[in-house]
């Protein structure tokens, strides 16, 4: 019912007048969230239906999004939005289930590995309970199955296999005839994500060739090398999908290049968790003002406001001493040190005050 | 003004920073739960008030509906809007509670408020000529402003400002006093004026046109209730704000003090330029914790419900440096405000004789 404030332009205008906000339907969220959190409008709610073990330190979260969520293509990701100690946190994860499953029973799955020291992944593992409602974004990403049937090669490492699982189930359901080879690199058998699904696919879908390399158990020959790729028949004609940690991705790109595979034959997807800078890292760094498309180098303890002004930008500001928040804006990546408290921020997206934030390493802000 | 040595000022800054760091490190789920609970209460009161007013032909429901809507507006303006716009909840990373985009239920636009209040007032607190909130350019509250006979009538201004407070605050950034002095032209303020018309129009449309017409046969009752609710909010908000800086013992400062001001001096100016009033839990919540104006001025972006908890420590610090911690009951603080408005409406000669008496 509240969707009229979103979809009908006259009602949207009226809602803005009555509730003083750009998203008038969300005005009622504080009340709706206690009646039934699946009714809120400010974000797209999804209920946690089940949480299952997937591999060592890895769990699969089965979610049922609200009916207004618009679905996804195999290989896409979503942002999941949870509140940890009062702070709303967003993280991006690949969907590990196939779109057909969502069409059938309305559920999707995220398969998530604990990151050592990771605030969100550890919270999801330790605190998230079945029945809780979390926020999700619409799906995004271009890690798509090719439109035209052609031979495929997947090079996946660790938890990078999750979008590949979504692809493979979808391809098998289509009865994809062209050869599909999956080279999956994991440390040990206990780290194999989706092992059962992969084995089941192998049994029912003749086009699939699955090779799992356990780098800690099978000796040095299990590390990705030319010999692995030489065994892939007709590799030159294949479209290649890469998904895994950055080291593996770089190596794979390099090897594929040696086999004469062109850039446009390769689709890659990865997002590494941003890592906090070392405490000892010196102040200053490369600052990118994304909104104005300006990048400058900074040194020493110059705050972002002064750096922006030196670069001839004129961001909104006031007191220049950290009290009035006129200069608050989004930092999209990087670490800054708060001049008043001396504390370093997290590495991810958050609101900062330009006049008292000193970059520590490379930083990107929305100015 | 109370004088401290540079060393004392540095120690004062260090003592206050220690409180700030300790509280800010602890800010988290408790504060998020608190503000969400206040917001839920606001929604319930606003929806309840608007639902009751059409039945306002029954006097008890008229009173309940008007009071409910009036309190909703007070909560939204004081404890939610004012505090959210100070950045007290920016750390929550919730787009509906973001200081730079929040828009509140009053005539003044969020942008105008962020500039005149968060920046001008909180940076230049009680500096005559720089802090336009001191007397709101319509009240003479210190002898830095030269007396003229018009000031004899400033009680009328005082009353009008209280009754139409939301419009007064809305008009504040227009700086009409500077227009009268010919320093700026109306055309210099074209954008401010445009935003004011849009926001003022929106507020008037909502309370004085849309909701009355929606309940057409009883429109006059709903209109009266909405006017009443806005009036309740105006009277309460204006008086809470007057009590924060216009009390007799709240000090004022001159512009030359700003030159090279240290953090310690800034803290000292905030401590001695503000005044608190005492009361129960609801007095504090409904004033947006501006009853703790002193704590608010030293830590404007700390979640406001924490002021109550740190107040004894701030008071101790004041005692340590021999500073006057200006706190008294609502009634006695209010009396000093009225006395000040009255005294400064008089020519200096008569005023000094009265004050001496």
List residues in chain A touching B: CB distance below 8 A: 14, 16-18, 20-23, 26-31, 34, 42, 83, 85-89, 318-319, 321, 323-326, 328-329, 340-341, 350-351, 353
Residue A116, min C-alpha distance to chain B (Å):
23
Kindly determine whether residue A88 and residue B94, on different chains, have CB atoms separated by under 8 Å.
Answer: yes
Residue A216 CB neighbour total at 10 angstroms: 12
pLDDT band at residue B1, thresholds of 50, 70 and 90? low
Residue B348 CB neighbour total at 10 angstroms: 12
Residue A129 has pLDDT above 60, yes or no: yes
List Cα–Cα distances, A316 to A277, A320, A363, in angstroms: 28, 11, 19
State pLDDT tens for residues B107-148.
999 999 999 999 999 999 999 889 988 888 889 998 888 899
Q: Where are the domains of chain A?
A: 43-136, 152-268, 284-365
User: Average pLDDT of B335-341?
Assistant: 94
How many residue pairs bridge chain A and chain B with CB atoms within 8 Å of each other?
106
Residue B294, min C-alpha distance to chain A (Å):
15
Can you tell me the distance from the alpha carbon of B58 to that of B80, in angstroms, rounded to the nearest whole number? 31
DSSP three-state, residue B239: helix
Kindly determine whether residue A30 and residue B31, on different chains, have CB atoms separated by under 8 Å.
Answer: no
The class level of CATH for A284-365 reads: alpha beta
Can you tell me the distance from the alpha carbon of A109 to that of A120, in angstroms, rounded to the nearest whole number? 17
Contact yes or no for A324/B118 (Cβ under 8 A): yes
**Cα A16 to the center of its chain, rounded Å:** 32
Q: Cα-flanking dihedrals φ and ψ of residue B56, to 5°? A: -70, -5
Residue B4, min C-alpha distance to chain A (Å):
22
Q: Cα-flanking dihedrals φ and ψ of residue A184, to 5°? A: -115, 120
* Strand order, beta sheet including A58-65: A87-94, A77-84, A133-136, A44-55, A58-65, A108-113
Can you tell me the distance from the alpha carbon of A77 to that of A96, in angstroms, rounded to the nearest whole number? 9
If you write DSSP's letter for every residue of A29-56 in order, what string do you get? HHHHHHH-GGG-SSSEEEEEEEEEEEET
B 248-267 residues with CB < 8 A to A: 263, 266
Q: Report DSSP state, residue A115.
A: P
For chain A, say whether B296 makes contact (Cβ under 8 Å): no
Lowest mean pLDDT among A264-268, B12-16, B78-82: A264-268
CA-wise closest residue to B336 among B244, B236, B272, B232: B244
Mean pLDDT taken over chain A: 91
Q: Which residues contact B87 (CB under 8 A, 6 or more apart)?
A: A325, A328, A353, B99, B301
Can you tell me the distance from the alpha carbon of B200 to that of B265, in angstroms, rounded to the nearest whole number? 38
Give me the residues paired with residue A152 across strands: A180, A239
Looking at residue A276, what is its pLDDT?
A: 58
ipTM comes to 0.88
Can you tell me the distance from the alpha carbon of B276 to that of B294, in angstroms, rounded to the nearest whole number? 6
CA-wise closest residue to B127 among B304, B253, B267: B253
Nearest-Cα residue of chain B relative to residue A330: B93
A152-268 has which CATH code?
A: 3.40.50.80
Contact yes or no for B34/B285 (Cβ under 8 A): no
Give me the residues paired with residue B97 across strands: none
For chain A, say whether B300 makes contact (Cβ under 8 Å): yes
Q: Which residues contact B270 (CB under 8 A, 6 or more apart)?
A: B125, B294, B297, B298
Residue B292 CB neighbour total at 10 angstroms: 28
Nearest-Cα residue of chain A relative to residue B121: A324
Q: Strand B327-329 relative to strand B276-278: parallel, antiparallel, unpaired? A: parallel
Kindly determine whether residue A31 and residue B40, on different chains, have CB atoms separated by under 8 Å.
Answer: yes
Q: Integer distance in angstroms from the first to the last C-alpha of chain A? A: 37
User: Average pLDDT of B175-202?
Assistant: 91
Kindly determine whether residue A351 and residue B93, on different chains, have CB atoms separated by under 8 Å.
Answer: yes
Nearest-Cα residue of chain A relative to residue B110: A20
User: Average pLDDT of B169-174?
Assistant: 91
State pLDDT tens for residues B229-263.
999 999 999 999 999 999 988 889 999 888 889 99
Contact yes or no for A325/B87 (Cβ under 8 A): yes
Q: Which residues contact A15 (CB under 8 A, 6 or more apart)?
A: A5, A21, A24, A25, A27
pLDDT band at residue A24, thresholds of 50, 70 and 90? very high
Residue A275 has pLDDT above 80, yes or no: no
Residue A52 has pLDDT above 60, yes or no: yes
Residue B213, min C-alpha distance to chain A (Å):
14
Residue B13 has pLDDT above 90, yes or no: yes
- Cβ contacts (< 8 Å) between A17 and chain B: which residues? 202, 205-206, 210
Q: Where are the domains of chain B?
A: 6-32+108-356
Looking at residue A348, what is its pLDDT?
A: 81
Looking at residue B248, what is its pLDDT?
A: 87
Residue B301, min C-alpha distance to chain A (Å):
7
Q: Report DSSP state, residue A180.
A: E
Q: At what angle do helices B330-343 and B219-245 cross, to 10 degrees?
A: 80
Can you tell me the distance from the alpha carbon of A88 to that of A42, in angstroms, rounded to the nearest whole number? 13
Mean pLDDT taken over chain B: 94
- Cβ contacts (< 8 Å) between B94 and chain A: which residues? 88
Looking at residue A345, what is its pLDDT?
A: 86
DSSP three-state, residue A279: coil
User: Average pLDDT of A70-75?
Assistant: 96
Nearest-Cα residue of chain A relative to residue B300: A323
Kindly determine whether residue B119 and residue A329, on different chains, have CB atoms separated by under 8 Å.
Answer: no
pLDDT band at residue A271, thresholds of 50, 70 and 90? low
The class level of CATH for A43-136 reads: mainly beta
State pLDDT tens for residues A285-294.
999 999 889 9
User: Average pLDDT of B5-33?
Assistant: 96
Q: CB-hemisphere CA count at 13 Å for B244?
A: 27
- Cβ contacts (< 8 Å) between B33 and chain A: which residues? 86
Question: What six digits make up the tokens of A68?
Answer: 């207004």
């Amino acid at each position: 019912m509240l969707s009229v404030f979103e979809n009908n332009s006259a009602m949207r205008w009226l809602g803005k007048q009555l509730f003083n906000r750009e998203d008038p339907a969300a005005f009622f969220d504080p009340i709706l969230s206690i009646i039934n959190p699946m009714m809120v409008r400010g974000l797209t709610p999804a209920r946690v239906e089940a949480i299952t073990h997937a591999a060592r330190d890895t769990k699969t979260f089965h979610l049922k999004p609200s009916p207004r969520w618009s679905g996804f293509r195999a290989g896409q990701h979503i942002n999941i939005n949870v509140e940890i100690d009062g702070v709303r946190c967003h993280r991006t994860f690949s969907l590990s289930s196939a779109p057909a499953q969502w069409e059938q029973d309305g559920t999707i799955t995220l398969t998530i590995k604990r990151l050592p020291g990771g605030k969100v992944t550890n919270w999801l593992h330790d605190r998230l309970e079945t029945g809780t409602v979390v926020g999700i974004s619409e799906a995004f990403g271009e890690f798509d199955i090719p439109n035209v049937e052609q031979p495929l090669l997947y090079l996946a490492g660790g938890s990078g296999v999750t979008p590949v699982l979504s692809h493979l189930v979808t391809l098998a359901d289509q009865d994809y005839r062209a050869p599909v080879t999956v080279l999956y690199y994991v440390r040990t058998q206990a780290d194999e994500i989706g092992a059962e699904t992969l084995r089941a696919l192998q049994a029912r879908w003749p086009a699939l060739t699955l090779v799992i390399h356990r780098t800690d158990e099978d000796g040095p020959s299990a590390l990705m090398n030319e010999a692995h790729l030489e065994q892939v028949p007709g590799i030159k004609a294949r479209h290649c999908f890469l998904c895994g940690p950055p080291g593996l991705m770089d190596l794979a790109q390099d090897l594929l290049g040696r086999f004469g595979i062109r850039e446009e034959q390769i689709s890659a997807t990865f997002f590494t968790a941003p890592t906090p800078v070392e405490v000892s890292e010196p102040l200053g760094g490369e600052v990118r003002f994304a909104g104005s498309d300006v990048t400058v180098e900074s040194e020493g303890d110059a705050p972002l406001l002064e750096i922006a002004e030196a670069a001839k930008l004129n961001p909104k500001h006031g007191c220049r001493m950290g009290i009035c928040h006129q200069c608050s804006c989004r930092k999209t990546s990087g670490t800054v040190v708060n001049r008043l408290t001396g504390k370093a921020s997290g590495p991810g997206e958050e609101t900062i005050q330009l006049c008292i934030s000193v970059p520590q390493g490379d930083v990107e802000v929305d100015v | 003004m109370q004088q401290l040595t540079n060393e004392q000022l540095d120690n004062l800054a260090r003592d206050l920073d220690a409180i700030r760091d300790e509280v800010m490190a602890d800010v988290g789920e408790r504060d998020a739960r608190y503000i969400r609970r206040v917001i839920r209460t606001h929604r319930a009161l606003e929806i309840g008030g608007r639902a009751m007013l059409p039945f306002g032909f029954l006097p008890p429901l008229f009173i309940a509906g008007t009071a409910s809507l009036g309190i909703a507006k007070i909560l939204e303006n004081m404890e939610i809007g004012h505090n959210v716009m100070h950045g007290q909840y920016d750390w929550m990373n919730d787009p509906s509670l973001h200081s730079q985009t929040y828009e509140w239920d009053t005539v003044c636009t969020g942008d105008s408020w962020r500039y005149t209040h968060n920046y001008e007032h909180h940076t230049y607190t009680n500096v005559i000529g720089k802090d336009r909130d001191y007397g709101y350019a319509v009240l003479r509250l210190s002898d830095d402003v030269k007396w003229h006979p018009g000031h004899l009538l400033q009680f009328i201004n005082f009353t009008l400002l209280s009754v139409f407070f939301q419009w007064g605050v809305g008009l504040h950034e227009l700086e009409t006093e500077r227009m009268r002095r010919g320093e700026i032209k109306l055309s210099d303020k074209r954008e401010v004026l445009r935003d004011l018309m849009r926001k003022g129009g929106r507020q008037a449309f909502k309370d004085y046109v849309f909701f009355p017409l929606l309940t057409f046969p009883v429109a006059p009752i709903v209109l009266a209730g909405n006017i009443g609710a806005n009036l309740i909010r105006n009277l309460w908000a204006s008086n809470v704000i007057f009590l924060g800086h216009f009390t007799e013992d709240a000090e004022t400062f001159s512009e030359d003090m700003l030159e090279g001001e240290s953090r310690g001096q800034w803290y000292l100016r905030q401590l001695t330029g503000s005044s608190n009033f005492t009361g129960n839990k609801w007095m504090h919540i409904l004033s947006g914790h501006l009853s703790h104006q002193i704590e608010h001025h030293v830590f404007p972006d700390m979640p406001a419900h924490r002021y109550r908890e740190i107040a004894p420590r701030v008071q101790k610090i004041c005692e340590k440096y021999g500073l006057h911690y200006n706190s008294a009951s609502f009634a006695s603080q209010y009396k000093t405000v009225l006395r000040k408005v009255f005294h400064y409406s008089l020519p200096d000669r008569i005023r000094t004789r009265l004050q001496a008496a």
